[in-house]
Amino acid sequence: MKVAKEPPKDALNGIKVADFSWILAGPLVTKCLADHGAMVVRIESGKRPCAHRAVAPFKDRKPGLNRAGYFAFYNANKLSFQMNIDHPRAKEVLRELIMWADVVVENFSPGTMDKKGMGYEELRKIKKDIIMLRTSNQGQTGPFAKHAALGMQLVALSGLSQLIGWPDGDPLQTTMVWTDFVVPQFGVAAIMAALDYRDKTGNGQILDLSQFEASLHFLAPPILDYVVNQNESMRMGNRCPCAAPHGAYRCEGEERWCVIAVFTDDEWEGLCKAMGYPPWTTHDKFSTLLARKENEDELDQLIEAWTINLSPEEVMSRLQAEGVAAGVVKNGQDIYEDPQLRQGNHLWPLEHKEMGMLTHMGQPFTMSETPARPRSPAPLLGEHTEYVCRQLLGISEENFSDLRSDGVFE
């Protein structure tokens, strides 16, 4: 007799998170936890909703707090608990929420939670083993901890802006808030380590995650170059000191490009073969890496004269067949239709209550026994307020109605 195999539980099944974060850096931390099965209650206010509920793109270009693409994308699998935490009676509910939670996440300016009576020491009085992740621009302490900044300023502070652009041009910004996407992996790792520590000792702890410091982990080469050689790295455009050609080359079609990188003589031979060995490839000025670097402007023009007559997909296919690193510069449509993403479990359709069917991204790694997945769409503002109070926190119907009448859940 065969016994039916129970479906695998999620890796973080049973972990409970009170999410006070907003914008992106904090919500991406809790999104990863939620995708792996943690129950995440996102505390929101109708008086001051998360900025990502109020910024484009909106579904069908119709604005609304429940129609924002950013919020929907980064808050799937969470519960929305609407509450004005500044209300005089809010602490009655917050105390129950902290007692319920294993982890608290916040990304306000340093001191904000303390001013509201919700600093780590206050939370510990409620629940000794609580874990609190605080992620802010430059950490909770230090001379610049309270400097105002968003992702753009942190990109500049990290030194990345100094490296983006052309040698004769100004420093440039990334088009996205780069640091907000760097920080979450450190936040998740810190929480997992703290949960392990709690399981072994019975103690919680506070986690102070500096977004500025996290960003530096991805800029080790220029930092090391200065420490070792006192050399200041500067903007190089698409160039690389140890490769030629190395850049993005225009292809057939409007705004269609393919990147090509050649580091070795074998790769150079592969590029020449893919192009059909045009006569210029035999010139001495292109015979070695050093020679190609010295004549890189001309080399780029000659290569683009070949790529301009081919689709970027064809350029990539021909070069990859010869062992040359090449990739299509993809746009949104390319990514959405990408067969590599479609064949796995990375793109998931979920039905949103107001926006209809939306595609969500899964986590970038898979776990054979406890696969992560988006299970529910991003919540409507305050959608789960009563459920959280009545079912999770055990607040009586009478008390809930009284609190609601008093305006706590606004």
Per the CB < 8 A criterion, the answer to whether 151 and 180 are in contact is yes
Task: Confirm whether 102 is a catalytic residue.
Answer: no
Per the CB < 8 A criterion, the answer to whether 75 and 53 are in contact is no
Closest CA to 22 of 92, 94, 80: 80
Per the CB < 8 A criterion, the answer to whether 46 and 23 are in contact is no
What is the C-alpha separation between 271 and 147, in angstroms, rounded? 50
CB neighbour burial string for 315-324, b if at least 16 within 10 angstroms, e if fewer: bbebbeebeb
Q: Where are the alpha helices (DSSP H) in 236-373?
A: 265-274, 289-294, 296-307, 312-321, 332-336, 339-343
What is the C-alpha separation between 229 and 219, in angstroms, rounded? 16
Beta strand 131-136 with 103-106 is parallel
Q: Which residue has the tokens 């074998």?
A: 266
Closest CA to 314 of 373, 256, 381, 379: 256
Q: Name the region of 121 (left: φ>0; alpha: ψ -120 to 50; beta: rest).
A: alpha
Instruction: Give residues with Cβ within 8 angstroms of 201, minimum separation 6.
Output: none
Q: How many helices (H) and strands (E) does the chain have?
A: 18, 11
Closest CA to 100 of 123, 68, 133: 123
What is the C-alpha separation between 38 and 31, in angstroms, rounded? 9
What is the C-alpha separation between 103 and 97, in angstroms, rounded? 11
Identified catalytic residue from 10, 19, 35, 180? 180
Q: Which residues are catalytic?
A: 180
